[in-house]
Amino acid sequence: MKTLPKWAATKYQRLWQTYANQAFTFSRAHEVMGLGESQTKNVLVIMESSGYLLSEPDPLDLRSRQYRLIPPEAIQWAEKLERELERQPETDKSLAAILNELWARVREQILEEFGPLDLPETLAAQVSEVAAQTAKRDTLGLIERVDFGKFDKAEADELKELLKLFDGKLNSYRSVTNVLLEYFKMQRDLEAGEFDAAVAEIALLDGQPLVEPKREKNTSLCPICRRFPQSINAQAMITGNPKMDSVFQLYRGTRSQIKICSFCFLSGYADLPLARISKDGQSINKQRDYLFIETPIAKGSLESLLAYLREGAIGELPVQESEAPAAESAETGETDLLAQLIEDLQKDGIAVTPNDLPILFGSRERLSHVSGFLLNSLNALSNLVVLRVPLERLSGDEKLSGAARQELAKAAMYDFWRITSETATLHYGSMPA
């Protein structure tokens, strides 16, 4: 139990003078305190977290809650008990003796308030037997010994919460009996010499660890670019069994959402599915493929490539029979994006012609369905490009076999690898590790 600040204690006293042992709602507390709604809510939260207030759903309206104050005498008794417990370490009493004394006081109060119950007088002896494996852990159960049916719901809940603090059968971190049990187990293991320090995990040899440490995945980074922190909730676009999908479990915000960085969100991440969606026999049957490219090629050339895919891939390939058409196009302000792209690539030292890249330069109308964008990069030596590659549009046949689509994907990847001077790192169909 925490001590309330002076200003919060004043509000507690005012509420107790008004309602005492009666239940009250948020609106009534708001009227008594004379504060704003947000301030009233903060005061109630502080009281509840400090142990001065109980809250439960209103049985008549589950959307609202009822509040009930802990009596001042109960608070004084708890504070007195805490002060005595704080002085316990200064004595020579063992942890088992402290537990028995604490349980004796609580047991006395329980019997006085709830009547005769089948509760043991001490607990430490049974805990010692369980730690020595001469008795089963079921013997430490307290809740099973009480018939809660003879109490009303409020009394039964209060009694159950008190017994949970000493019930050793439940694997609960709140149980002080479990604290003593783990203490006895640790003593036994220390005497048996079962504790060995994991030296290999911390020792170094010539500055290198003896064992490769386990590397935790950085789950705070954006799952799309893996470069910037997550900041915006977005649709996950992953179906199937979420429990078996490690990517979904790692980055999900809720069951159907993930968190991504602001840049990927503003750049139209929706073209980048995190997994293929395919459900037989259902209306959902989507298959989206993407290509993630990291390359040292200049940013201007990559922007020309994206412009070519976005605009220049529509229509027929322009044929330049002489210099006149080129001059006319220059006068009218028209630009051959393919020629501009090749020129930019050649400036970067990449010798490539339309004949070298049959997929990229030979299917211009189909490539209009390929979309992509540049990602910001903290690495000045490389740039990041993400492209959505719809294989059914590139092939022109949605009934194409899976094997043929894989070969088409390989050819498209080869084209992009060539266009990046054979220096790019490409990831197709899955996010980079």
Where do the domains of the chain lie?
Answer: 6-73, 92-192, 219-287, 289-317+334-428
Q: How far apart are CA 340 and CA 334, in angstroms?
A: 11
Tell me what the pLDDT averaged over the chain comes to: 70
pLDDT of 33 over the 70 cut: yes
Percent of the chain scored above 70 by pLDDT?
49
CA 427 from chain centre, in angstroms, equals 25
Residue 37 confidence class, pLDDT cut points 50, 70, 90: confident
89 compared with 228, residue with greater pLDDT? 228
pLDDT of 161 over the 80 cut: yes
Q: Give CA separation, 78 vs 22, 99, 165, 283, 421, in Å.
A: 21, 16, 14, 61, 75
pLDDT of 118 over the 80 cut: yes
What is the reported pLDDT for 336? 63
Task: Report domain 6-73's class.
Answer: mainly alpha
What is the reported pLDDT for 196? 54
Q: What is the pLDDT of residues 246-290, one digit of tens each?
A: 444 444 445 456 677 766 665 544 434 333 444 444 444 445 566
57 compared with 390, residue with greater pLDDT? 57
Residue 149 confidence class, pLDDT cut points 50, 70, 90: confident
Q: Which residues are CB-neighbours of 432 under 8 A, at least 6 positions away?
A: 226, 292, 294, 425
pLDDT of 417 over the 50 cut: yes
Q: How far apart are CA 413 and CA 429, in angstroms?
A: 11
Kindly state the average pLDDT of the residues 226-243.
56
What is the reported pLDDT for 316? 44
Rama region for 41: left / alpha / beta (φ>0; ψ in -120 to 50; rest): alpha
What is the reported pLDDT for 433? 29
317 compared with 409, residue with greater pLDDT? 409
124 compared with 216, residue with greater pLDDT? 124
Residue 311 confidence class, pLDDT cut points 50, 70, 90: low
Q: How far apart are CA 47 and CA 158, in angstroms?
A: 18
What is the reported pLDDT for 373? 63
What is the reported pLDDT for 324? 39
Q: Which of 1-5, 144-148, 279-283 has the lowest mean pLDDT?
A: 279-283
